A and B are shown apart, each in its own frame.
Chain A
Amino acid sequence: MTAVKVLRYELRDLRRSRWLLGYVLLLLALTDALLRFGGGGPRAVLSLMNVVLVFVPLVSVVFGTMYLYGARDFIELLLAQPVGRGSLFAGLYGGLAAPLAIGFLLGVGLPFLWSGQGDGSLAGALAMLLATGVLLTLVFTALAFLVSLLFEDRAKGLGAAILVWLAATVLYDAVIVLVATAFTDYPLELPMLGLIVLNPVDLGRVLLLLQFDTAALMGYTGAVFERFFGTLVGLAVATGALALWCAGPLGLARARFRGKDF
């Protein structure tokens, strides 16, 4: 079980990483502050939505890319051991995605636990918030692998990672708004659906909006999604598309890792 062995050691390495610790502490402080001073649970969850949709992808893709460039030499040493590339890749991915996901769960989940606001009516929304954050972590860690394998040069790779994040969070929304305003006279539902599915961050937003029952109030994308699919099917479609968003880049990265000359 090469993958498990590599994963365990990478986990141990990252558990002691100051960057990861900083990430968790920041999430803890932010969530705690929102719960204390932000007007209570429901509003805190709404504010955290943006943290999940913007901050989690940023940290996952940038930290992931940086970590992988730093680990280049060690990965070469591991490749020179009697291990297969496929299982080594699986271990490396798990060992990077797991601590980031666990760190996110702790950073956002713990304040809800100790403030006692995570149960009752909020439990569903909180669960969806945590699940979406974990899914986005998995997606953007996979993208970090792809980026670091496509660019030999560390500076270019880091630039590409930031570009991926910018494209998914800021640029893509701008495009959607542009399309929506430019073609207001046309029926846009189906093209919009297509555009949403093509962006993991939008998918995450749809998941959260559907769960919060504020889909119609909270912007165009959620409303379209709910009207077209209904809540339950919408959730399933969005989750499935996010899973594909994880599997696709990961599959590409794995193929690249297996065939690459180091």
Chain B
Amino acid sequence: MTSPALVPAPAPLALPRMVVASAGLTKRFGRLEVLRGVDFAVRAGRVTAILGPNGAGKSTLIKILLGLVRPDGGSIAMHGTDVGEDPAYRARIGYMPQQARFPENLTGREVVRLLRDLRDDAVPEDDDLFEGFGLARELDKPVRALSGGTRQKLNAAVAFMFRPSLLILDEPTAGLDPIASGVLKARILRARAEGVSVLLSSHVLSELEELVDDVIFLVEGQVEFQGSLRRLKETTGETRLERAIARLMQRGTR
């Protein structure tokens, strides 16, 4: 793979302040109303966490952003333009699903090449995480021979590979050992420093504390709180994210 050294990081100032924003998103599955009018925005160059109890609509929201789920109502704009039906907007999104299952008989290198082939723009890849995780030796083995942790590393590395302006990470550290988890967290912070926006969901709140700038808190398909971590702590009067979230949840059930 090519060295990323010569490629300048995208200039944060060139981006609009909102990388992605939604207006009035609604979605129901059968009789279940999963999203009831969600407005949210991810600010450029910041790490935003989507939090909320189980069934609050976090993964549906993420899937709508990626075009995996079609909303019943509302719209999504990326970099200020409505994404509509055109899949091209996804070229600027790096996605790390909660659990990656790659074709068993392909090697890691072949998976990487396929994902590159599906993109027309010839962005030189960022193979930073491949090095950070020490994946080079594993890339020529078939996926079925890789351990769960190694697949998850590959999964993370692929999300960062195409220099996205928006990273969507679903439970990024689940299944990673502490060292790999540390490597990934450092990489997330560096991406932010380069002006990349990161949207992540995680259940491990203590882990988010050091990463997160903004919080979107969903309860029963609605945005209960949206704002910076500092403001969350101020409004709830708590100093730790975990406690602040607990407060929000109490407020939500009342």
Known contacts: A14-B105, A74-B102. The answer to whether A81 contacts B63 by CB under 8 A is no
Which of chain A's residues have a CB closer than 8 A to the CB of B91? 82
What are the interface flags for A83-114 relative to B under an 8 Å C-beta threshold, 1 for contact and 0 otherwise?
11100000000000000000000000000000
User: Would you call A80 and B29 a contact (CB within 8 A)?
Assistant: no
Which of chain A's residues have a CB closer than 8 A to the CB of B104? 13, 17, 70
User: Would you call B103 and A71 a contact (CB within 8 A)?
Assistant: yes
Which of chain B's residues have a CB closer than 8 A to the CB of A71? 101, 103
Could you list some 15 contacts between A and B, CB below 8 A? A5-B114, A9-B114, A15-B105, A70-B101, A71-B103, A73-B99, A76-B68, A80-B66, A80-B95, A81-B115, A82-B90, A83-B90, A259-B70, A261-B68, A261-B69
The contact of A77 among B67, B100, B117, by CB within 8 Å, is B100
Distance, CA A198 to CA B58, complexed state (A): 45
Which of chain B's residues have a CB closer than 8 A to the CB of A74? 100-103
Q: Which 9 A-B pairs have the closest CB atoms?
A: A16-B105, A73-B101, A82-B91, A13-B103, A261-B69, A82-B90, A262-B68, A80-B95, A80-B66
Which of chain B's residues have a CB closer than 8 A to the CB of A82? 87-91, 118-120
User: Would you call A9 and B95 a contact (CB within 8 A)?
Assistant: no
Which of chain A's residues have a CB closer than 8 A to the CB of B180? none
Task: Give chain A's interface residues, CB within 8 Å of chain B.
Answer: 2, 5-6, 9-10, 12-17, 70-74, 76-85, 259, 261-262
User: Would you call B118 and A77 a contact (CB within 8 A)?
Assistant: no
CB distance from A94 to the nearest CB of B (A): 15
Known contacts: A77-B97, A82-B89, A82-B90. The answer to whether A12 contacts B68 by CB under 8 A is no
Known contacts: A261-B29, A261-B68. The answer to whether A81 contacts B106 by CB under 8 A is no
Which of chain A's residues have a CB closer than 8 A to the CB of B93? 80
Q: Does B142 contact A (CB under 8 A)?
A: yes
Please, which residue of chain A has its CB at the minimum distance from the CB of B119? Answer: A82
8 Å CB interface, B103-123 against A? 103-106, 110, 114-115, 117-120
User: Would you call A73 and B87 a contact (CB within 8 A)?
Assistant: no
What are the interface flags for B63-98 relative to A under an 8 Å C-beta threshold, 1 for contact and 0 otherwise?
100111110000000000000000111110101010
- Tell me whether chain A's interface is mostly helix, strand or loop, or mixed: helix
Which of chain A's residues have a CB closer than 8 A to the CB of B97? 73, 76-77, 80
Distance, CA A84 to CA B180, complexed state (A): 33
Task: Give chain B's interface residues, CB within 8 Å of chain A.
Answer: 29, 63, 66-70, 87-91, 93, 95, 97, 99-106, 110, 114-115, 117-120, 142
The contact of B103 among A2, A9, A261, by CB within 8 Å, is A9
Known contacts: A74-B103, A80-B95. The answer to whether A9 contacts B69 by CB under 8 A is no
Known contacts: A5-B117, A5-B118, A261-B69. The answer to whether A12 contacts B101 by CB under 8 A is no
Please name 12 further chain A to chain B contacts, defined as beta carbons within 8 Å, in addition to the given A81-B87, A85-B87, A261-B70, sorted by A numbering: A5-B117, A9-B103, A9-B110, A12-B106, A14-B105, A71-B101, A73-B97, A73-B101, A81-B119, A82-B87, A82-B88, A262-B69
CB distance from B136 to the nearest CB of A (A): 21
Which of chain A's residues have a CB closer than 8 A to the CB of B114? 5-6, 9
Please, which residue of chain B has its CB at the minimum distance from the CB of A78? Answer: B118
CB distance from A158 to the nearest CB of B (A): 18
Known contacts: A12-B106, A262-B63. The answer to whether A81 contacts B118 by CB under 8 A is yes
User: Would you call B105 and A80 a contact (CB within 8 A)?
Assistant: no
User: Would you call A73 and B100 a contact (CB within 8 A)?
Assistant: yes
User: Would you call A83 and B99 a contact (CB within 8 A)?
Assistant: no
Which of chain A's residues have a CB closer than 8 A to the CB of B115? 77, 81
Distance, CA A89 to CA B106, complexed state (A): 20
User: Would you call A80 and B103 a contact (CB within 8 A)?
Assistant: no
User: Would you call B110 and A80 a contact (CB within 8 A)?
Assistant: no
The contact of A2 among B68, B89, B118, by CB within 8 Å, is B118
User: Would you call B87 and A83 a contact (CB within 8 A)?
Assistant: yes
User: Would you call B87 and A84 a contact (CB within 8 A)?
Assistant: yes
Distance, CA A4 to CA B103, complexed state (A): 17
Which of chain B's residues have a CB closer than 8 A to the CB of A15? 105
Distance, CA A13 to CA B67, complexed state (A): 26
Please, which residue of chain B has its CB at the minimum distance from the CB of A10? Answer: B103
Which of chain A's residues have a CB closer than 8 A to the CB of B106? 9, 12-13
CB distance from A102 to the nearest CB of B (A): 16
Distance, CA A80 to CA B169, complexed state (A): 12
